[in-house]
Each structure stands twice: as structure tokens, then as C-alpha cells.
Amino acid sequence: MLKEIRASANAELDEVLELLCEALQPTPTLWGDAQQKYNAVGTWLAAPESKLNLLKPDIKYQGSALIETVVRPWGREEFDVDLLCILNTDRVQHPNPMAVYDLVAARLAEHATYRRLMTLKERCIELNYAGQFHLDIVPAIPRFGFGRKLMIPDRKQKVWIPTDPFGYADWFFGRTPVTKIANEQYKARADVQPLQPAKRAQDIAPLQRTVQLMKRRRDLFFNGNGDAPKSIALTTLASKHYDGEAMCTDALLTVLSRIQEEIDNTSGVLVIPNPVDQSENLGRHWNDRSYARFKRFISQFLEEMHELLELRGWDKIAEALEELFGDRARGAVEKYAKSVESKRRNSKLGFSAGPVILTPTASTATRMVPRNEFFGN
């Protein structure tokens, strides 16, 4: 089956958004520091002298670090990295989830630095490297008989909670044209699975950049309000409605339009089934007020994107992007402008001299490409 894709009329804007995503990601220095601290904590947890060593801990990472959609939260530099401490035991040997949670917390507390940085959270132990990042250590055990699925303790309910971070990552990557299977990372048995180097925005898929932009717009729109939708809800909606667009601009418009359609066609509050556990509703945290704000967020974001595409000229576009995505947007526009001017000076562009104006223009070019048959379609 073939699908006709119209060449994007917004290639220049897409390059600016790519540069913006680059600016939203942790800097190489910050990410390198996170790698070192992640590896150090993992080594401490799995060390031979650790009581955890009897349970052969397997240290891996999950969440946005695994699916490569990390952004620095608006208004602060800190970002989050989730470290899984998977202990080789089961609910027969450890029926009490708090016993496993306390084992991991106790090992961290044996380290003077980690003891000072740690905070006990509902489903993780947070190490807060102020001004840098948060390392969330999630105790877990295998859910035997269910493949790669895990169980994690919930301190509030004092129960085991099923989770499938690697299955979710497989589903997410299955929605992109990128070949990457989280299963490979899971099967790579090691005491400490190293946190991989961060990729540049140009090296990740349009869907991943779309998720990054949606998370940043959410941060500004809700401005720290507790009504903000959770990242996994936005990521799941974006992945569900992504249709293989090669340009992030096109992908963002498609995703927002289809989420709006889904909202319009839904009676009551939108349900977001977890794609790897249909019994879990990722939108369960919404109440009437927070859901109303989410609907305004989507409709306003979609309207703002359409207005953005109508703008002409560097200054207006930079101003609009800054309102949408924060102060790093202007820097992305300026960086793109300098790049274009540099190419012009080097006679590498084939258009006439004159002031450079970022102006998306319509294109009638079309091409035929094989249709992507994504998981879940």
C-alpha cells in the first residue's frame, strides 16, 4: 500500500525547531555528568559488599532517557533520569513490597553523599543533584511468567504495582521509522547497564522531537500548576496519532489535530489506555478542572501552530516561538539565521542575494513512499 506525502512547505521552520529541541536537551556536559553519577550509583547498589548483591541487582534506565525525549524543565536546569534497580527475587520470597523498597533505600543511605541527597518518594528514591538533575532510583523485581514485565513497590498503598517500561519503549520506537528495540537493552545482561550518550536533536526521530516540544509547551502553559498532564500521557497520545511524518512541524500539526478530534468525539473525560497494559488508564489523574485545562491546552496549541505558519519574517517568528517554547527559541532562530548567512557568504545557496527571511512557502511537489504499517494501526 502506498501513501502520498506532500513535501513539507515548512522545511525552514522545521530546521529551527530542530535547533530548538537541541537547546531544550541537557547540554553534553550536563548529560556527561548524569552518566557518571548514574554509573556510580549503579555500581554502589550492585557492589559485592552490598546486601543487595545477594539478589544480583540489574541496573538499567527507563522513561524519557530510554526513549530519548529528555528535556530540561522550564524555569530550572534539572532534568530527571530514572534508574531501575531490578532485584532477582519474586513476590513469594518478598511478599512485602516495602521490604524491597527499604533494602534499596538502606543501601543508598550507607553512602554519606547519597544519604544527604536522598528523598523517599511514592515509587522511587530521589537523589537531588541541585542545579543539575534528579536521579530517581526505582526498586523493582521481575514479574515472572510475564516476560520482561516488572513489579515495583508503592509506598502509599504498600502494594506491588505492575509496570512494563521496556515493552512501552518497544511500542514507542515501533511508532517511528527508527529501528531500535528496547528488548536489546533489556537482554544485555550487566550488573550496571551504562547510561548511553545523548543524541543530538538531528539524530533522533521527528516523533521524539514532537514529544519534546509538547512537553516544553505544556511546561509553559501550565507554569508549574499541578493540573499539567503527565509526560507519559502526552507521549502516548503523540505516539498514537503520529503518522510517519518526516518533518517535526508536520508531525506536530498532525498529532495536535488528531488529539483535538479525539477530544471532540469523546463524551466525558478522555481515556488513555497504556499501550502495553490496556487495564491502566494513563489519564486517570484528571478531574473536571484539570481535564478542562488540558482541552484548552490542546486547542490553543493547535491554533498557535497554525498562526505560526502564517507569520513572515525573522522577528515575528522568533517572538512567536519564544511565547510558545520559552527564551531558548530566539537563540534557535538566531542560530539558524547565522547558518543561512554563512552558507550564503560561502556561495553554497542557490538563491539571489538579499535579506534572509524565514518564509515557509507552499510546495506542490509530491512523492510516493511505502506506507508505514505501525503497531496498533
Per-residue model confidence as pLDDT tens digits over 278-291 = 999 999 999 999 99
* Cross-strand partners of 127: 118, 135
Q: State the Cα–Cα distance between residues 36 and 34, nearest whole angstrom.
A: 5
Q: Residue 346's pLDDT is what? A: 78
Tell me, yes or no, whether 67 and 95 share the same domain.
yes
Tell me, yes or no, whether 231 and 266 share the same domain.
yes
**Residues 139-165, mean pLDDT to the nearest whole number:** 94
Query: Is residue 279 a part of any domain in this protein?
Result: yes
Beta strand 159-163 with 79-86 is unpaired
Number of structural domains in the chain = 2
Query: Is residue 222 a part of any domain in this protein?
Result: yes
**Residues 115-131, mean pLDDT to the nearest whole number:** 96
Decide: helix, strand or coil at residue 108: helix
Tell me, yes or no, whether 268 and 341 share the same domain.
yes
**Residue 336, burial from CB neighbour count under 10 angstroms (0-12, 13-18, 19+):** buried
Tell me, yes or no, whether 236 and 247 share the same domain.
yes
Cell of 24: 531544550
84 close to 140: Cβ distance less than 8 angstroms: yes
Tell me, yes or no, whether 237 and 254 share the same domain.
yes
Q: Residue 313's pLDDT is what? A: 85
Query: pLDDT at residue 182 above 70?
Result: no
Query: Is residue 324 a part of any domain in this protein?
Result: yes
| % of the chain surpassing 70 pLDDT | 85
Confidence of residue 73 (pLDDT cuts 50, 70, 90): confident
Query: Is residue 76 a part of any domain in this protein?
Result: yes
Q: Residue 360's pLDDT is what? A: 45
Q: Residue 153's pLDDT is what? A: 97
Tell me, yes or no, whether 174 and 203 share the same domain.
no
Q: State the Cα–Cα distance between residues 207 and 181, nearest whole angstrom.
A: 16
pTM of the model: 0.86
Q: State the Cα–Cα distance between residues 280 and 283, nearest whole angstrom.
A: 9
Query: Is residue 273 a part of any domain in this protein?
Result: yes
Q: Residue 243's pLDDT is what? A: 94
The domain in which residue 31 lies consists of 27-197
Tell me, yes or no, whether 187 and 216 share the same domain.
no
Q: State the Cα–Cα distance between residues 82 and 98, nearest whole angstrom.
A: 19
Tell me, yes or no, whether 123 and 189 share the same domain.
yes
134 close to 65: Cβ distance less than 8 angstroms: no
Confidence of residue 351 (pLDDT cuts 50, 70, 90): very low
Tell me, yes or no, whether 187 and 257 share the same domain.
no
**Residues 264-288, mean pLDDT to the nearest whole number:** 95
